[in-house]
């Protein structure tokens, strides 16, 4: 903590200068602590109550903030993948806490319950936001559809120029015709 500087010819006597410096240092410390307390309170409040929350708070704020830890919505497979990834980054969670945290995440941060996308009716925006297509790929789907008529199957969709067939395969649960 740096001391506040007094001008060389300050009229305040040395002893008092030190006392003021000390006071300011203590005040600064309190303000700092308060800011931290608020930050933690804010972060803690965002998480819904339930089994596994304490464990999540214990393990998932060591490398980044809790906000990032719950920044995605996904199903059990997705969360399992995330946990594996974090273990790969060096998280040394116990087996018992692993299951608790995983169950908590699956329950409180599930994949969004949106109906599947009908690729014969979808707009470019929907193709982008719901299927994660790039803007150029979405445009390509619309152009192909306009030229060739409705898609009848996943294989039809995979024929669209610029489309990555693997990506379409991975999203097949979310696609209807
Ligand atoms: C040993 C360090 C470490 C721990 C502990 C950790 N993470 Fe991470 N996490 C990372 C790193 C590194 C990244 C990627 C870089 C970044 O985005 O900061 C990351 C990123 C993420 C992301 C962003 C999306 C992604 O996959 O890149 C999520 C979600 C996440 N972590 C969730 C969690 C959860 C849930 C926990 C607790 C079970 C956790 N993390 C604990 C290191 C860690």
Residue ranges of the chain with per-residue pLDDT less than 50:
43
| Per-residue CA distances from 9 to 23, 163, 167 (Å) | 21, 75, 72
| pTM, two decimal places | 0.55
CA separation for the pair 43, 41 (Å, rounded): 5
Runs of H (alpha helix) within the chain:
14-46, 53-59, 66-69, 76-88, 95-108, 124-131, 135-148, 154-158, 165-170
Cβ of 86 closer than 6 Å to ligand 1, yes or no, is yes
Q: From the CA of 86, how far away is ligand 1's center (Å)?
A: 5
Which pLDDT score, from 0 to 100, does residue 109 have?
A: 92
Which pLDDT score, from 0 to 100, does residue 156 have?
A: 95
Which pLDDT score, from 0 to 100, does residue 2 have?
A: 58
Q: Which atom of ligand 1 is nearest to the CA of 72?
A: 29
Q: From the CA of 23, how far away is ligand 1's center (Å)?
A: 40
Cβ of 133 closer than 6 Å to ligand 1, yes or no, is no
Cβ of 85 closer than 6 Å to ligand 1, yes or no, is yes
Cβ of 68 closer than 6 Å to ligand 1, yes or no, is yes
CA separation for the pair 82, 158 (Å, rounded): 28
Query: For the segment 82-113, what is each residue's pLDDT rounded down to a tens digit?
Result: 999 999 999 999 999 999 999 999 999 988 76
């Amino acid at each position: 903590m740096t001391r506040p500087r007094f001008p060389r010819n300050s009229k305040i006597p040395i002893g008092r200068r030190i006392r003021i410096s000390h006071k300011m240092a203590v005040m600064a410390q309190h303000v700092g602590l308060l800011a931290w307390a608020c930050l933690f309170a804010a972060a803690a409040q965002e998480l819904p109550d339930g089994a596994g929350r304490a464990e999540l708070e214990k393990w998932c704020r060591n490398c980044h903030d809790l906000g990032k830890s719950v920044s995605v919505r996904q199903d059990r497979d997705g969360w399992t993948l995330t946990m594996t990834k974090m273990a790969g980054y060096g998280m040394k969670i116990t087996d018992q806490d692993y299951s608790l945290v995983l169950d908590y995440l699956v329950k409180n941060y599930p994949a969004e319950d949106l109906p599947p996308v009908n690729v014969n009716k979808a707009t470019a925006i929907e193709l982008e936001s719901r299927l994660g297509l790039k803007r150029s790929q979405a445009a390509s789907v619309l152009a192909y559809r306009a030229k060739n008529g409705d898609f009848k199957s996943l294989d039809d969709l995979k024929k669209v120029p610029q489309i990555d067939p693997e990506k379409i395969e991975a999203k097949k649960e979310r696609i209807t015709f």
